[in-house]
Amino acid sequence: MSLTKPAFPAPDHDHGRCTADALTHAETVCEQRSQKFTPIRRQVLQALLSSHRPLGAYEVIDELAKSMPRPAPITVYRALDFLMANGLVHRIESRNAYLACAHDHDATSAVAFLICERCGLVGEVPAGPFAQGLNQAARSSGFAPRLSVVEITGICTHCQTNS
């Protein structure tokens, strides 16, 4: 996997274009996989795209309730499960929250999440060799790894520049 975009968007980036590109990416992924990108799935993804910060499921519900009748939690969780299964959303384990993703991922892609402690933005960077090393260490101990999630907290470039 190669990311051509910086890990964090510039504060003055065109967020409308960013959101439109992510929705187009989701439509393409679903079409290629013969999956239905239903209205609720689209709306949940749009709620997550409202910022580059991860949202908890109930924050997604609150965001949706601004423009439609408040959806049932199970409806949102099902949509989130679908979006995660198709690589369109990541779960940020330490925050128990979800983050929209517009990058192409395959089953062997590994990423690390960079979580800014000041502004709350989350960036994504390739972590293949690092994750492979961790998984190999786990296997050599007789452990069968299923999922590796790398989350690194710190201060993003934009917050460092503004401090």
Helices (H), 33-148: 39-48, 57-64, 73-85, 128-140
Residue 23's SS3 state is helix
pLDDT in tens, the chain (163 residues): 444 567 888 878 888 888 999 999 999 999 999 999 999 999 999 999 988 899 999 999 999 999 999 999 999 999 999 999 999 999 999 999 999 988 776 555 678 899 999 999 999 888 888 888 888 999 999 998 877 778 999 999 889 988 7
Fold (CATH) for 15-161: Arc Repressor Mutant, subunit A (1.10.10)
The one-letter amino acid at 41: R
Longest Cα separation, the chain? 51
